[in-house]
Amino acid sequence: MKLFLCSHFAKVGILLKDQVEGKTLVFIPTASINEGYKGYVGSALKLWKKLNTNIIEIEISTANMNDIHKAFEKADIIYFTGGNSFFLIDSIKKKGVDKLIKKHLENNKLYVGESGGAIICAPELTYIKKMDEVPDNFSQKDYSGLNLIDFYVLPHYLCAPFKKCSQEILASNPDLNICAINNSQAILINNGEKIELNV
């Protein structure tokens, strides 16, 4: 299983240059659709184009499952933008996209998660409540994540506007295996091996 998890894709995505050039990407902006600020979505899209990838954009909370399946089938890379991780995991599970992600990762596709897209890979998401609000219409019975990793990504560590809440999350979860990364760092997981990268 291959995963590239980061806080700010526009800043660190260049680290993937050799692995993604000429590949097809499914670009999923779902986490961002209800957010006030969405600048990171445009900047990530710009970098993916610069990296010479073929982009299929699909918003999973409104797309039909047939179109989602087709997009995943064509893609070599599955990319989730940042945004609200609770809204994202709820949308994923409502549609059964969690099973689809796992199936495609087993076929050696690359998962790239930025901020909310990285957070949802954890076993459980309660730890991130100080950073992300749970939407009023959240429909899952618990806050379980995709469980693709055995640790918990804390993005934007000590970065504005999350400086205070990222410190509080780390301090209030001493028993959790938290991996805090700033906007210039990324985590690469390749068949169980975890490598921390910096730009």
Catalytic residues: 115, 156
SS (H, E, C) the chain: CEEEEECCHHHHHHHHHHHHCCCEEEEECHHHCCCCCCHHHHHHHHHHHHCCCEEEECCCCCCCHHHHHHHHHHCCEEEECCCCHHHHHHHHHHHCHHHHHHHHHHCCCEEEEECHHHHCCCCECHHHCCCCCCCCCCCCCCCECCCCCCCEEECCCCCCCCHHHHHHHHHHCCCCCEEECCCCEEEEEECCEEEEEEC
- Residue 66 CA to residue 83 CA, distance in Å, equals 25
Distance of CA 48 to the CA centre of its chain: 15
